[in-house]
Amino acid sequence: MAGFGTAGTFTKQIRSMNPKSTRLLLLLALGLVVGSSHRPAHLPQATPPNIIFILTDDQGWTSLSSPMDTGVPESASDYYETPNIDRLARAGMRFTRGYAPAAICSPTRRSIQFGQTPIRQGDEEFPARYRPGGQAPRSIPQVLKAIDPRYRAAHLGKWDFRAELVPEQVGYDLSDGDTRNGNGNLVQVKGDKWDEHYLTEDPKKINTLTERAIAFMQKQTSAQVPFYLQLSHYATHVNMETKQATLDHFSKKKAGKRHSNPAWAGMLFDLDTGIGEILDEVEKLGIADHTYIFLMADNGAVEFLPPVKNRLDHPSKFKEPMRNYPLRGGKWVLYEGGIRVPFMVMGPGIKAGSQCEVPVIGWDLLPTFAELAGGTPMPEKGRDGGSFVALLKNAGQGPVNRPVQDFYFHRYNAGYPHSAIISGNDKLVHFWKTGKTELYDLENDKGELVDLSTRNPAKAKALDARLLNYIKQHNPGLLTAYTKKSQPKEKPED
């Protein structure tokens, strides 16, 4: 203890004092010791980290210029360029089996925000179940603020919950409101959005969103408070918008076998540039040592440009490889191309350039953020996700303690409704109109080319039973929703 020398000297000094002074000094010393090791329960122990979550739109697993799986060269694009996302991957950890909760955007976004499967949340039922003041579980910002009330949260960009629920009603301090795809288009589509492209210096509002995100980061850093920033980009959802210079660059580049559209490539490159500005600002602000940056897509890329109607067909039926090859399918379907997406994290304690083979999914993000912020890694009742902080801290090795380890998916669509279960390396897809099931071994057949259901009927039956049991427990209406007497109205695909 400074000013008192050794312990023996300190004891002699106490003995030489009168009793009243001795008692006062002992009480003071005890107060210093207790004060240094304990704080009132209502005060945060230390400033928790900042968390930045970048959610891209319709970006496939193979839509990066670096591979999402270093053991699978085809998992990198043969045409697109994403130097800044590649930089994020090199600085942190990439997940070879990172999954979106759904094959389309709205159920994915809802799932991430509350840490639940889209099956549990429902589709048509969601607006009523999750209305303000209802019984909905806490959202990401509400959980973080319960851990440390100093957190400030912003949601910028696309919200698209298809419900009367805006970000401020679930704990965000700043947002763009109830935004959807149209809010990100600076140009009104006059022709076919799959064939046309539009030139602008702020494509899909990438520049505007990036500037506002940086301003939010600067403000919270200046105030010395932790922040959660969710930057939900409108890109790369069509319509296709890009800068003239970017379009010129890709128009001159040799086309790839899977990827060749210069306007879409330009839009992706412009998005990547905005992401690079976020990474740069984290460095400029000096907050890299206590900031985590997550990136994932809301679903896979569209299987072809323009898309096809027979998207559930076997890949052998098409003359050209799908854009998500070696994965099968794309947006709108529950094959791997529709749900396996770019998924990576960088931040303190994460080994640079590491790769994790353990499956993770969007509904794992909320409990992961909670643990990073100092909360419990154990999920609350009614959640489906589990924290994967152990994977981040141990070079991709460790447990993810979810209530249920299997992943459950459902495609809410009256035209081709189907559900899926992923259990380890086994995947079963159940088609509701025909009752047909397909079984795949994802370890040896990433492209889902060989249906094993007739070779291993026992496994197929067991997985189908688990899938139906989960649906029966959490959304039993789905079991009867696709009968002839009860056909849900088919909505136009987005």
Q: Which domains does the chain have, with CATH numbers?
A: 50-393 (3.40.720.10), 407-479 (3.30.1120.10)
What are the structure tokens assigned to 185, written together?
């288009």
The pLDDT tens digits for 331-390 are 999 999 999 999 999 999 999 999 999 999 999 999 999 999 999 876 678 899 999 999
Altogether, the residues listed in the chain come to a count of 494
Rounded mean pLDDT of the chain?
90
Q: What is the pLDDT of residues 265-312, one digit of tens each?
A: 999 999 999 999 999 999 999 999 999 999 999 999 999 999 999 999
Percent of the chain with pLDDT over 90: 82
| CA 393 to chain CA mean position, Å | 18
**pLDDT tens by residue, 436-463:** 999 999 999 999 999 999 999 999 999 9
Gyration radius of the chain's alpha carbons: 25
486 pLDDT more than 80: no
Cα separation, 232 vs 159, whole angstroms: 7
pLDDT, position 362: 98
Contact 245, 254 (CB under 8 A): no
- Which of 90-105 are b and which e, b meaning 16 or more Cβ less than 10 Å from the residue's Cβ? ebbbbbbbbbbbbbbb
**How many distinct helices (H) and strands (E) make up the chain?**
14, 16
Tell me how far apart the alpha carbons of residues 405 and 93 are, in angstroms, rounded to a whole number: 21
DSSP letter at 168 equals G
Q: How does 275-287 read in b/e, with b if 16+ C-beta sit within 10 Å?
A: bbebbebbeebeb
Cα distance between residue 274 and residue 268, in whole Å: 10
Asked whether the beta carbons of 421 and 408 are under 8 A apart, the reply is yes
The pLDDT-based confidence of 23 (bands split at 50, 70, 90) is very low
Cα–Cα–Cα angle for 476, 58, 74, rounded to 5 degrees = 110
Q: Enter the pTM of the model.
A: 0.90
Q: Kindly state the tokens that stand for 312.
A: 């559930």
Give the side-chain half-sphere CA count within 13 A for 318: 19
